[in-house]
Amino acid sequence: MPETAMVLAAGLGKRMRPITDTMPKPLVRVAGKTLLDWGLDSLAEAGVAKAVVNVHYFPEQIVAHLAGRQQPAVTISDEREGLLDSAGGIVKALPQLGADPFLIINADTFWIDRDQPNLERLALAWDASSMDILLMLADPPSATGHSGSTDFLLGPDGTLGRAAGDPTGLIYAGAAIIHPRVFAGAEAVPHSLNLYFDRAIAAGRLYGMKMEGRWITVGTPDAIAPAEAAVAGTMAQDA
* pLDDT tens profile 60-83: 999 999 998 889 999 999 999 999
Domain count, the chain: 1
pLDDT one-digit tens code per residue, 10-34: 999 999 999 999 999 999 999 999 9
What CATH number is associated with residue 100? 3.90.550.10
Residue count (the chain) = 239
Q: Are 173 and 137 in contact (CB under 8 A)?
A: yes
Q: Has residue 236 got a pLDDT over 70?
A: no
Handedness of CA 222, 118, 157, 191 (dihedral sign): positive
Q: Which is more confident, 165 or 234?
A: 165
pLDDT one-digit tens code per residue, 88-142: 999 999 999 999 999 999 998 899 988 889 999 999 999 999 999 999 999 999 9
Query: DSSP 3-state assignment of 16?
Result: helix
Rounded distance between C-alpha atoms, residue 184 and residue 210, angstroms: 28
β-bridge pairing 4-8 and 206-210: unpaired
Task: State the pLDDT at residue 194.
Answer: 96
Q: What is the DSSP string of 92-133?
A: HHHHHH-SS-EEEEETTEEEE-SSS-HHHHHHHH--TTT-SE
pLDDT, mean of residues 148-176: 94
Average per-residue pLDDT for the chain: 93
In 3D, which of 100, 99, 102 has the Cα closest to residue 72?
Answer: 102
Strand partners, 104: 6, 176
Range of the domain at 202: 4-238
Q: Are 152 and 135 in contact (CB under 8 A)?
A: yes
Q: Are 72 and 26 in contact (CB under 8 A)?
A: no
In 3D, which of 11, 18, 209, 224 has the Cα closest to residue 106?
Answer: 11
